[in-house]
A and B are shown apart, each in its own frame.
Chain A
Amino acid sequence: MSDPRRLLWPALLILAALPPFFVNDYVQYILNSILVYAVVAIGFNIVLGYAGQLAFANAAFFGVGAYTTAICMGRWHWPFLPALLSAALVTALVGLVVSLPALRLRAYYLAIVTLAFGELLRWGYIHADWLTLGSSGLPVPAASMFGISLASDRARYWLFLCLTALVLWGSANLLRSRFGRAVVAVRENESAAAAMGIAPALTKIGAFAWSGCVVGIAGAMFALLLGRINPESFDLSQLLLHFSLVMIGGLGSLVGSVAGAVVLTAAPELLRNVAGLEEIVFSLLLIGVLLFMPKGLAGLLSRVAVLREHLYLG
Chain B
Amino acid sequence: MLAQLVVSGIGQGSIYALVALGMTILFRVTTVVNFAHGELFMFSAFVIYLLLNAFDVPYLLAALAAILVLFVLGSVVERVLMRPIRHAPHMALAMMTVALSYLLRGVVRMGWGGDVRSLPPMFTFDPVMLGTVVLAAQDIVTIGATLLLVAGFFVLLQRSRFGKLAQAATDSPRGAALIGLNVPGFHRTMWGVAAAMAAIAGILVAPVTLLYPDMGAQVLVRAFAAMTLGGFGNLGGAVAGGLLMGVLEQLAGFYVSTAMIDIASYIVIIVVLLSRPAGLFGRVERVRV
Q: Which residues of A contact B (CB under 8 A)?
A: 48, 52, 54, 101, 104-105, 107-109, 111-113, 115-117, 119-120, 123, 127, 191, 236-237, 240, 243, 247, 251, 274-284, 286-287, 290-291, 294
Of the A-B pairs whose beta carbons lie under 8 Å apart in the complex, a sample of 5, sorted by A's number, is A109-B232, A117-B270, A120-B267, A278-B106, A287-B99
- CA–CA, A230 to B101, complex, Å? 24
Across the interface, name the chain A residue whose C-beta is closest to B269: A116
Asked if B109 is at the interface of the complex by the 8 Å CB criterion, the answer is yes
Assembly CA distance A247 to B103 (angstroms): 16
Q: Is the C-beta of B274 less than 8 angstroms from some C-beta in chain A?
A: yes
Q: Which of B98, B107, B224 contacts A280 (CB 8 A)?
A: B107
Which B50-96 residues have a C-beta within 8 angstroms of A? Answer: 81, 84-85, 88, 90-92, 94-96
Pick the interface stretch among B140-148, B162-170, B258-266.
Answer: B258-266
- How long is the Cα–Cα vector from A294 to B96 in the complex, in angstroms? 12
Contact between chains at B98 and A243 (CB < 8 Å): yes
Checking B101, B224, B263, B289 against A112 with a beta-carbon cut-off of 8 angstroms, the contacting residue is: B224
A290 partner, pick from B85, B109, B232, beta carbons under 8 A: B85
Query: How many residues of B are counted as interface, with CB atoms below 8 angstroms from the partner's CB atoms?
Result: 44
Chain B proximity of A184: nearest CB distance (Å): 14
- Taking a contact as CB atoms under 8 Å apart, the answer to whether B92 and A116 are in contact is no
Is A294 a contact of B88 with CB atoms below 8 Å? yes
- In the complex, the answer to whether A277 meets B110 with C-beta atoms within 8 Å is yes
Measured CB to CB, the nearest residue on chain B to A240 is B102
How far, in angstroms, from A105 to B106 measured CA to CA in the complex? 32
Q: Summarize A's interface: helix, strand, loop or mixed.
A: helix
Chain A neighbourhood of B106, CB < 8 A: 276-281, 283
Contacts of A116 in B (CB 8 A): 221, 224, 265-266, 269-270
A291 CA to B110 CA in the complex, in Å?
25
A286 pairs with B274, CB closer than 8 A: no
Does B113 count as interface, using CB distance less than 8 angstroms? yes
Chain A positions within 8 Å of B107 at CB level: 276, 280
Q: Are B266 and A117 in contact (CB under 8 A)?
A: yes
Residues A280 and B103 in contact, CB atoms below 8 Å apart: yes
> By the criterion CB–CB under 8 Å, are B277 and A279 in contact?
no
Inter-chain contacts of A123 with B (CB < 8 A): 259, 262-263, 266
Residues of B within 8 A of A105 (CB): 273, 277
Min CB gap B250→A, angstroms:
19
Are B110 and A276 interface neighbours, CB within 8 A? yes
Cα of A101 to Cα of B269 in the assembled complex, Å: 12
* Residue of chain A at shortest CB distance from B268: A116
Q: A240 touching B110 by the CB < 8 A rule?
A: no
| Chain A: CB-nearest residue to B263 | A123
Closest to B33 in A: A108
Query: Which of A191, A282, A294 is close to B92, meaning CB atoms less than 8 Å apart?
Result: A294
Task: Name the B residues within 8 Å of A108 (CB-CB).
Answer: 33, 90, 94, 232
- Of all chain A residues, the one with the shortest Cβ separation from B92 is A290
A290 x B95 contact (CB < 8 A): yes
From A112, A191, A243, contact of B228 by CB (8 A): A112
Q: Which of B217, B224, B266 contacts A236 (CB 8 A)?
A: B217
> Known contacts A111-B33, A290-B85, A294-B88; is A276 also within 8 Å of B270 by CB?
no
User: A48-B91, A54-B94, A240-B98 known; 14 other A-B pairs, CB under 8 Å?
Assistant: A52-B91, A101-B273, A109-B273, A113-B273, A115-B224, A116-B269, A119-B221, A119-B266, A274-B110, A276-B110, A279-B105, A280-B106, A283-B99, A287-B96
Q: Which residues on B sit within 8 Å (CB–CB) of A236?
A: 217
Q: A119-B221, A275-B114 are in contact. Are A284 and B103 (CB under 8 A)?
A: yes
Contact of B277 among A109, A127, A191, A291 (CB under 8 A): A109
Instruction: Mark each residue of chain B from 205 to 241: 1 if its CB lies under 8 Å from any CB of chain A, else 0.
Output: 0000000010001000100100010001000000000
Q: If A116-B224, A282-B102, A290-B85 touch, does A111 touch B94 (CB 8 Å cutoff)?
A: yes
- Bitwise, B101-125 to A at CB < 8 A (1) or not (0) is 1110111111101100000000000
How far apart are the CA atoms of A27 and B205 in the complex, in Å? 46
B40 interfacial by beta-carbon distance below 8 Å: no
B117 to nearest A CB, angstroms?
14
Q: In the complex, what's the smallest C-beta–C-beta distance from B241 to chain A, in angstroms?
A: 13
Please name all residues of chain B whose beta carbon is closer than 8 Å to the beta carbon of A280 when the two chains form the complex.
102-103, 106-107, 110
Q: Bound state CA distance, A236 and B220, in angstroms? A: 12
